[in-house]
Amino acid sequence: MRLQFIASEIWIGLRRNLSMTISVILVTFVSLTFVGAAGLLQTQVTKFKGEWYDKVEVSVFLCPANSTKPACASGEATQAQIDDVKAVLGSPEVAPEIQSVTFESKEAAWKDFSKRFADQWWINEVTKDDMNASFRIKLTDPQQYQVIDDVLTGRAGVEEVSDQREILKPIFLVLNRATLVAAGLAAVMLLAAVLLITTTIRLSALSRRRETSIMRLVGASNFFIQLPFMLEGAIAALVGGVLAVGGLWLGVKYLVEQWLSSSVQWAPVVTTHDVLALAPLLVAIAVLLAAVSSIVTLRRYTKV
């Protein structure tokens, strides 16, 4: 009997404030979509780093014949200078930081370069003498690039020490900033959702003050009186949360998995599994929004 009464009260409240209920659903849907987008962007950054940070190398380019760098003042790197670099890389101070070292001669670099850019018009303007011999170093911990840079930069025969992570940093910067923008918009929309849920519950409580007074007179507890109002907000917020999960799932399914992943095959992308993993958090936020809004509002507007 009590459950039937509560259900009827919830239905009456939702029907009386239908436009406000729809507004709550829409605002919750939009705000949680931004929350989910921020979470998925951060997941994308983590996946990208996990995939590529383990693969990036440090490249030590040796002096070619025509370099203008001070360390190359004596001309092209000699065999003695190359052996000196090898000795440094094999030293007890540096070797523990290195997983593997590959040497690429000038001839091998030219062969790879000419094959890769064979269809370019300017390929005839480049010769083998423009190529750098180099060491390709894979670090045990890619974060320890500075160790290699410190011991080799400025050494005779070494033109440049390059960290491939620098190429990826602009991508991570864009993704991280997009995450911050999405999180900022989500915060604004969540605040709007809280205010709207609060307003909806307040209007519902004011429209039923007579019923509330009667329930109070017959001995109904505060919890029993407030429960229908709380459930009204929870249902509207929950519907918005479910819609947000559905929207994110469809977006990832058709825009990321079926379209973007075919164009960006070299990088891992977020999947619908990531959306489903995020779904419980979004639903929990929706319920929490309703709970906080209800507690703040009902303390005042269900008093008789």
Domain ranges of the chain: 2-52+169-301, 58-163
3-state DSSP percent of the chain in helix, strand and coil, to 5: 75, 10, 20
Which pLDDT band holds residue 277 (cuts at 50, 70, 90)? very high
Matching residue, tokens 């620098």: 166
Q: For residue 150, which phi and psi values (nearest 5 degrees)?
A: -65, -40
Per-residue pLDDT reduced to its tens digit, 34-73: 888 888 888 887 777 766 666 677 888 888 888 888 888 8
Per-residue pLDDT reduced to its tens digit, 127-170: 777 788 888 888 887 777 788 888 888 888 888 888 777 666 77
Whether the predicted pLDDT of 302 surpasses 50: no
Whether the predicted pLDDT of 174 surpasses 80: no
Going by DSSP bridges, is the β-strand pair 134-139/58-62 parallel, antiparallel, or unpaired?
Answer: antiparallel
- How far CA 55 is from CA of 48, 52, 152, 167, 169, in Å, comes to 11, 5, 21, 13, 14
Which pLDDT band holds residue 249 (cuts at 50, 70, 90)? very high
Q: For residue 220, which phi and psi values (nearest 5 degrees)?
A: -65, 140
Which of 121-125, 216-220, 240-244 is the least confident region? 216-220
Q: Which residues pair with 158 in a beta bridge?
A: 62
- How far CA 24 is from CA of 14, 94, 165, 179, 183, in Å, comes to 11, 60, 44, 24, 20
Who contacts 235 (Cβ-Cβ below 8 Å, separation ≥6)? 10, 14
pLDDT recorded at residue 42: 82
Half-sphere exposure in the Cβ direction for 11 (13 Å, CA): 6
Q: What is the mean pLDDT of the chain?
A: 77
Closest CA to 179 of 41, 5, 3: 41
Instruction: Tell me yes or no: is domain 58-163 CATH 3.20.20.80.
Output: no
Per-residue pLDDT reduced to its tens digit, 189-198: 778 777 777 7
pTM for this structure? 0.60
Who contacts 151 (Cβ-Cβ below 8 Å, separation ≥6)? 88, 93, 94
Q: Which residues pair with 139 in a beta bridge?
A: 98
Q: Compute CA 75 distance to the chain's CA centroid, rounded to the nearest angstrom.
A: 46
Q: In the numeric block, which tokens belong to residue 118?
A: 């064979």
Q: For residue 53, which phi and psi values (nearest 5 degrees)?
A: -65, -30
